[in-house]
Amino acid sequence: MKQPRDYTVIFSDDDILVLNKRSGLCVAADRYDENAPRLDLIAQEEFGKLFAVHRIDKDTSGIVLYARNEIAHKNLCEQFQNHSVKKIYHCLVNGRPLWKTLKVDLPLLPDGDTHHRTIVDRKNGKKSLTEFSLLGICGPYSWLEARPLTGRTHQIRAHLHAKNFSIVCDPIYGSNQRGVFLSELKRRYNGDPYEERPLISRLALHAYKIEFIHPTKNSAMKFCAPYPKDLEATRKQFLKLFGIDSCGGIDSLAKSDSENYQN
């Protein structure tokens, strides 16, 4: 099976680099596996030295922002520390929420148990806030939008776990590791069930949008990262079966946003 590209370039100038990374790739050094492939080292072969300003989980796909010089690095780090950077994630979860919106304000402690999970700890945890919106219910699954207002490790996954929800194929916080199979959703499935591959079989979490102020031009920047192939296949099938589109036509906006900033 052909390995997907490690990243695609959404935007680049002298100060910043915005990439759309594949799932399964670390964005910086992994403290548990120092030899794990790293996005920053791979991208530096094309763009030169990069400065990390934030992280997303190894198994999460989507937007990663890097600074390309020390001045931009300092400015962007301050924006993240001040929580002025807006981040939006899309995820597919097991189950059907009874709410349209949910605000989770629970303190989190990274590496809080023997499984190295982030846990809710009201005594030792740091303040953590995530806003969730229900994008649509698709049979036994639901599309959610997540807006983390703080930047804790595994924040979205831990907050969902605290509310008895898990992202599809979450190897750490989920009890159900089974992928999404079209044959289990479509009444008249004509394919060979013995040859069927899941629509998605990895953590169904995608860093979808980011908004920040350009570190030297002081202009508002907004970028969207189109879904990777597996998540896009799931979206299209769910749109056909349930009439629910998690993107709501925003993919065209993602392309036009990037083009506008490059022109």
- Active-site residues, by number, are 57
Q: What is the 3-state secondary structure (H, E, C) of 139-158?
A: CCEEEEEEEECCCCCCHHHH
- Tell whether the torsion through CA atoms of 99, 132, 154 and 171 is positive or negative: positive
DSSP for 17-59 reads EEEEEPTT-BSS--SS-TTS-BHHHHHHHHH---EE-----TT
Residue in 226, 184, 180, 221 with CA at minimum distance from that of residue 204: 180
> Please, are residues 44 and 195 in contact by the beta-carbon 8 Å criterion?
no
Burial of 44 (0-12, 13-18, 19+ CB in 10 A): middle
The half-sphere exposure of 37 on its side-chain side, counting CA atoms within 13 A, is 12
